[in-house]
Amino acid sequence: MIKLNSKLPNVGTTIFTEMSALSNEYNALNLSQGFPNYEPDEKLRELVSFYINNGKNQYAPMSGVQALRESIAHKIKNIYNIPINPNSEITVTAGGTQAIFTSILAFVNKGDEVIVVEPAFDCYNPAIELVGGIIVPYEMKSPEFQIDWQELQKLISDKTRMLIINTPHNPSGSILKNEDFEKLEIIIKNKNIIVLSDEVYEHLIFDGEKHCSILKYPTLFKQSIAVFSFGKTFHCTGWKVGYAVMPSNLMEEFRKVHQFNVFSVNSFVQNALADYLKDSEHYNYLPNFYQQKRDLLSSYINKSRLKLIPSRGSYFVLCDYSAVSNLPDKDFSVWMTKEKKLASIPISVFYSSGKQEKLIRFCFAKTEDLLHQAGQIIEKL
């Protein structure tokens, strides 16, 4: 038998795959893995079909289709009023996860420390492990899930190479504000640290708040990477298209890795997105669209024995289930899927310490009908 020396000995199948599979097996309502149960706009689907039938089937340029990079630069200018060079500062990636993975691969060396703000999306830490980096977790505290920058600063050492932040935040639904970025800018000034800012939920932000992108801070941006996702924005998570934005000196290194990893992303979807992205109405409606869904699910949670942790952004909401059960969170999620036919995600998997807080996450990127059905189960828990 072949002897394997696993590079990720402690990693199993991701919780998202596991819970979605369990949900299907038990015919449960799937509020676990984050994906919409509705289709992308027909107009966008028609554009994809147009380009697949009109010659956009060979390799796209390595950095992404020119028209798409230009549309992205235009969108960034339109929303954040920042000039970004479409040729040297944007690369189209096979989803946000690839942009994150490639960034870690390109910039983190063996023995480098990476500060990860936890609870953290589960793709960050394995990527750091694979390159021989050292994970330095900073734990945000429930229920606010804010960053105390003074505390975080204590984790910075001579070996710190990267800091990973995420706003709007998966899984907690918290957001970073202007003050956060001002403090961040001060603590990493003149330090050889790259900030990897996962902003894939940039348009999913509620209560009149505006998304604070790291792109808006010129000094900070000189040492930053911002990652975005079309899957979250246009309800097409299965297309796996996103992009990374960074200054050109970083981008040169990023592309060295990107070209030998994916080379380039499928061309017909990129061409379709290039056209579709031009109309800002295609994303401006999202805060309101998702706020209604958040409010609908939250209203059921508020009538139940679950305790709601209000979501400010993303398409996730957290609940404390300690009034319902003493089970550890994974066991509770599995029990609820099997017995109550409602799937969720346990939060302990987002901590490298496996911290148990009796919290679960629901995804509300679902039709009203499904949210009502889920709400009726929640009410009776």
**Which residues bind to ligand GLN, rule: CB under 6 A?**
14, 16, 33-34, 170
**Smallest distance, ligand GLN to C-beta of residue 200, A:** 7
Please check whether residue 333 is in contact with residue 18, taking contact to mean a CB–CB distance below 8 angstroms: no
Nearer to ligand GLN, 98 or 160 (CB): 98
Please check whether residue 156 is in contact with residue 115, taking contact to mean a CB–CB distance below 8 angstroms: yes
Q: Which residue is nearest to ligand GLN (CB)?
A: 34
The helix (H) or strand (E) run that includes residue 165 is strand 160-166
**Smallest distance, ligand GLN to C-beta of residue 14, A:** 6
- Residue 354 gets the label, from left (phi > 0), alpha (psi -120 to 50) or beta, of left
Distance, CA of 40 to CA of 46 (rounded, Å): 10
Distance, CA of 74 to CA of 351 (rounded, Å): 37
**Smallest distance, ligand GLN to C-beta of residue 122, A:** 7
**Smallest distance, ligand GLN to C-beta of residue 126, A:** 12
Please check whether residue 127 is in contact with residue 257, taking contact to mean a CB–CB distance below 8 angstroms: no
Nearer to ligand GLN, 16 or 26 (CB): 16
Q: Would you list the DSSP string of 219-277? A: HHHTTEEEEEEHHHHTT-GGG--EEEE--HHHHHHHHHHHHHHT-S--HHHHHHHHHHT
Nearer to ligand GLN, 84 or 196 (CB): 196
Nearer to ligand GLN, 184 or 374 (CB): 374
**Smallest distance, ligand GLN to C-beta of residue 65, A:** 24
Nearer to ligand GLN, 23 or 170 (CB): 170
